[in-house]
Structure 1
Amino acid sequence: MTATWDIFCSVVDNYGDIGVTWRLARQLVAEHEVAVRLWVDDLNAFVPMCPGADATAAQQWLRGVEVRQWSPTWVPVEPGDVVIGAFACQLPDAFVQAMRARNHPPVWLNLEYLSAEPWVEGCHGLPSPQPNGLRKVFFFPGFTEKTGGLLREHDLLPRRDAFESSNRARATFLEALGVAPGQDALLIMLFAYENPQLASWLQALATDPQACHVLVPQGRSIAGLAQWLGVTQLEAGDVHVRGSLTVQVLPFVSQDDFDRLLWSCDFNAVRGEDSFVRAQWAAKPMLWHIYVQEENAHWEKLEAFLALYRRGLSDEVQAALLGLWRAWNMDQDMGQAWRAARAYWAQLQQHARCWAAQQAAGPDLAKALVHFCGNSL
Structure 2
Amino acid sequence: MADKRWVIWCRVVDNFGDIGVCWRLASQLHHNYNAQVTLWVDDLATFAQLLPAVANVAEQVLEGVTIRHWSATPALDDAPADVVIEAFACELPPLAIAAMRAQQPLPLWLNLEYLSAEPWVVDCHGLPSPQGGGLNKYFFFPGFSAGTGGVLGEADLPARRAAWGPSQRDAWLHAQGVTAPAHFTVSLFAYENAALPALLEQWAASPTPINILMPQGRIWTSLQAVVGPLQLGQPLQHGAATIYPLPMRPQAEYDALLWSCDLNFVRGEDSFVRAQWAGLPLVWHIYPQEDAVHLIKLDAFIELYLKDAPADAAAALRALTYGWNHGDLTHGGVTHAWQSVVAHWPALRMHAQRWAAHLDALGNLAANLARFANARLK
TM-score (norm 2): 0.95
1:155 counterpart residue number:
156
1:350 counterpart residue number:
350
3-state SS in 1 of match to 2:276 = helix
1:40 counterpart residue number:
41
The structure 2 residue matched to 1:323, chosen from 297, 306, 319, is 319
Amino acid at match of 2:305: Y
1:295 counterpart residue number:
291
2:119 counterpart residue number:
118
Residues 303-350 of structure 1, C-alpha deviations (whole Å, 9 max, x = no match): 111111112223222221211111111232266211122221111111
Which residues in structure 2 correspond to 1:124-143 (within 5 Å)?
A: 124-131=125-132, 133-143=134-144
TM superposition outliers: structure 1 runs of 4+ over 4 Å: none
Check if 1:63 corresponds to 2:59.
no
1:284 counterpart residue number:
280
CA contact (8 A) 1:6 1:83 kept: yes
CA distance in 1 between partners of 2:169 and 2:326 (Å): 34
Q: Deviation at 1:363? A: 1.6
3-state SS in 1 of match to 2:60 = strand
Q: Deviation at 1:173? A: 2.1
The structure 1 residue matched to 2:303, chosen from 303, 307, 316, is 307
Amino acid at match of 2:344: Y
3-state SS in 2 of match to 1:180 = coil
1:174 counterpart residue number:
173
Amino acid at match of 1:175: H
Q: Deviation at 1:131? A: 4.1
Amino acid at match of 2:243: V
CA distance in 1 between partners of 2:316 and 2:301 (Å): 16
2:201 counterpart residue number:
203
CA contact (8 A) 2:320 2:329 kept: no
CA distance in 2 between partners of 1:8 and 1:305 (Å): 27
CA contact (8 A) 1:181 1:187 kept: no
Q: Deviation at 1:236? A: 2.1
CA distance in 1 between partners of 2:308 and 2:96 (Å): 48
2:89 counterpart residue number:
88
CA contact (8 A) 1:187 1:214 kept: yes
Amino acid at match of 1:17: D
CA contact (8 A) 2:195 2:327 kept: yes
Check if 1:262 corresponds to 2:258.
yes
1:106 counterpart residue number:
107
CA distance in 1 between partners of 2:194 and 2:39 (Å): 36
2:17 counterpart residue number:
16
Which residues in structure 2 correspond to 1:333-348 (within 5 Å)?
A: 333=329, 336-348=336-348
CA distance in 2 between partners of 1:91 and 1:180 (Å): 49
Of 281-290 and 339-348, deviating more is 339-348
CA contact (8 A) 2:11 2:90 kept: yes
Q: Deviation at 1:133? A: 4.4
Consecutive unaligned residues in structure 2, runs of 5 or more: none
3-state SS in 2 of match to 1:179 = coil
CA contact (8 A) 1:185 1:211 kept: yes
CA distance in 2 between partners of 1:152 and 1:25 (Å): 12
Residues 171-210 of structure 1, C-alpha deviations (whole Å, 9 max, x = no match): 332233222241x331100000111101111110010112
Residues 91-132 of structure 1, C-alpha deviations (whole Å, 9 max, x = no match): 111111111111111100000000000000001001011145
CA distance in 2 between partners of 1:180 and 1:22 (Å): 33
Check if 1:271 corresponds to 2:267.
yes
The structure 1 residue matched to 2:214, chosen from 207, 210, 216, is 216
CA distance in 1 between partners of 2:247 and 2:311 (Å): 39
CA distance in 2 between partners of 1:76 and 1:362 (Å): 36
TM-score (norm 1): 0.95
Consecutive unaligned residues in structure 1, runs of 5 or more: none
Of 336-345 and 122-131, deviating more is 336-345
CA contact (8 A) 2:255 2:274 kept: yes
User: Is the alpha carbon distance of 1:181 and 1:265 closer, same or farther for their aligned partners in structure 2, counting shifts above 3 Å?
Assistant: farther
Residues 195-242 of structure 1, C-alpha deviations (whole Å, 9 max, x = no match): 11011111100101121111111111011111110x2x3232232101
Residues 260-288 of structure 1, C-alpha deviations (whole Å, 9 max, x = no match): 11001111000000000000000111100
Amino acid at match of 1:87: F
Q: Provide the identity percentage.
A: 48
CA distance in 2 between partners of 1:64 and 1:179 (Å): 35
CA distance in 1 between partners of 2:172 and 2:345 (Å): 25
Of 117-126 and 184-193, deviating more is 184-193
Amino acid at match of 2:366: A
3-state SS in 2 of match to 1:110 = strand
CA contact (8 A) 1:145 1:363 kept: no
CA contact (8 A) 2:194 2:328 kept: no
CA distance in 2 between partners of 1:89 and 1:361 (Å): 30
CA distance in 1 between partners of 2:71 and 2:179 (Å): 43
Amino acid at match of 1:211: P
1:226 counterpart residue number:
224
